[in-house]
Amino acid sequence: MPFSPRLVTALLGLCVFAACSKPADPSVQSDSRMTAERLGELILDVDRDARLAGTTWQFSSGGFDTAVIYDTYADRMRIVIPIGPADALEDGELTRLMQANFDSALDARYAIAQGLLWGTFIHPLSSLTEHDFVSGLRQTVSVVATYGDSYSSGEFVFGSGDSSEIERQRLEEELSEEST
């Protein structure tokens, strides 16, 4: 599952945040802290063919090229899945992505970096649990898979946003088209 040079460049660009981050507080230690080694075990449970290059794991999840980038000093981890070129977004689509980030993407997010649109999940590494990782990966795969349709993490829609009404209208239109 080779990554394109553009994707690798984009992933490396996402790693730049580590160079500007403060190290995590070393006085905060606990047996429950997520480690790079445990994170790797979780990723290998998802895809036995996963590859580690530096602090970036590359693997397949839900049929998508997926990367997990971690930084133990900055105490951060992110799951990223490329969706496509950001300049291909149609009119109004950026607004729809922001609406989804508010209520239907939940813990996963849509993001733009290095000229690409991504599905992503970002979490402090040390407090990441196995449940958090599995849930974050599942939600990230879902926001990528539902891009252009329901823009959903697959969990539920958090109230007071726009997504429920948009989805209701879309379903009404589909039902109306089917009945004609």
**pTM (2 d.p.):** 0.76
pLDDT tens for each residue of 94-146 = 999 999 999 889 999 999 999 999 999 999 999 999 999 999 999 999 999 99
Q: What is the 3-state secondary structure (H, E, C) of 133-178?
A: HHHHHHHHHHHHHCCCCCCCCCCCCCCCCCHHHHHHHHHHHHHHHH
Q: Please give the DSSP secondary-structure letter assigned to residue 73.
A: T
Question: What does CATH list as the number for 5-179?
Answer: 3.30.1460.10
Average pLDDT over residues 10-39: 56
Query: What value does the mean pLDDT of the chain take?
Result: 82
pLDDT score recorded for residue 177: 79
pLDDT tens for each residue of 146-171 = 999 989 998 556 566 666 666 666 66
Average pLDDT over residues 73-100: 96
Helix (H, G, I), strand (E, B) or coil at 92: coil
| Banded pLDDT at 14 (limits 50, 70, 90) | very low
Cα-Cα-Cα-Cα dihedral sign, residues 111, 112, 118, 120: negative
36-46 and 130-145 helices, crossing angle to 10° = 50
